[in-house]
């Protein structure tokens, strides 16, 4: 039976996710894309994305024939919007764009979004509700925690560990074996040559606290 699919978040990343969905075989076979859920009813003003915003995450009661995908990159907003739906038994799909390269023994948690041209080499764990944006690369034996956002063109080399709720800005790099602790922020273009503590904010080459 076909499912009704809703995108949580109607901002820029939510609109990108809408387009990624259209590239999936499942989009025409298994789902009807029924619109966006967003707390801002004007989020799509000026854009043509029928059927538009049909409700808000906080006011939505998931039904058995509904599935959801997260279209929010900012971690605190993503958690606030999606956690309440999960608590009400919403089923989040895992989206992997057809152009992504996914090797052996790559395990993706519930609700993960893998965008175009991402490379996941082999023996990788990606926690639930994490997102990896376009052209990023994750090397062998890497681990990425739940709710983490990896922006575009990032490079997580072999044996790296990224904790839960981490934000990595565009073009950030982790050297082999380095760790980024839970809730940390790695600024755009940063090169992590030393492990980053939980909750820390680092920027630069080499990355330093700021």
For 87, other C-beta atoms within 10 Å of its C-beta total 9
Strand 185-186 relative to strand 191-192: parallel, antiparallel, unpaired?
Answer: unpaired
Instruction: Share the mean pLDDT of the chain.
Output: 96
For 19, other C-beta atoms within 10 Å of its C-beta total 11
- Match domain 3-93 to its CATH number in 3.40.50.1100, 3.40.50.20, 1.10.3720.10, 3.40.50.2000: 3.40.50.20
CATH of domain 96-198: 2.160.10.10
> Domains of the chain: which residue ranges?
3-93, 96-198
| Three-class DSSP labels, 31-79 | EEEEEEECCCCCCCCCCCCCCCEEECHHHCCCCCCEEEEECCCCHHHHH
Q: Please work out, in degrees rounded to the nearest 5, the angle formed at the alpha carbon of residue 63 by the alpha carbons of 58 and 68.
A: 65
Q: Which residues of the chain have pLDDT under 50?
A: none
Regarding pTM above 0.75, the answer is yes
């Amino acid at each position: 039976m076909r499912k009704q699919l809703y995108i949580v978040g109607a901002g820029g990343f939510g609109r990108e996710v809408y387009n990624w969905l259209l590239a999936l075989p499942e989009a025409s076979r298994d789902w009807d894309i029924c619109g966006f859920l967003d707390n801002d009813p004007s989020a799509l003003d000026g854009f043509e994305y029928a059927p538009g915003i049909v409700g808000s995450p906080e006011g939505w009661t998931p039904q058995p024939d509904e599935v959801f995908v997260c279209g929010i990159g900012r971690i605190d907003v993503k958690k606030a919007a999606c956690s309440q739906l999960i608590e009400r038994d919403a089923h989040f799909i895992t989206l992997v764009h057809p152009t992504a390269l996914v090797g052996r023994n790559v395990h993706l948690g519930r609700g993960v979004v893998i965008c175009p041209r991402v490379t996941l080499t082999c023996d990788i764990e990606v926690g639930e509700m994490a997102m990896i944006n376009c052209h990023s690369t994750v090397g062998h034996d890497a681990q990425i925690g739940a709710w983490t956002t990896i922006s575009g063109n990032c490079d997580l080399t072999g044996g790296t560990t990224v904790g839960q709720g981490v934000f990595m800005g565009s073009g950030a790099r982790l050297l082999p074996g380095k760790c980024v602790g839970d809730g940390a922020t790695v600024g755009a273009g940063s090169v992590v040559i030393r492990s980053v503590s939980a909750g820390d904010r680092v920027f630069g080459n080499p990355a330093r606290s700021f």
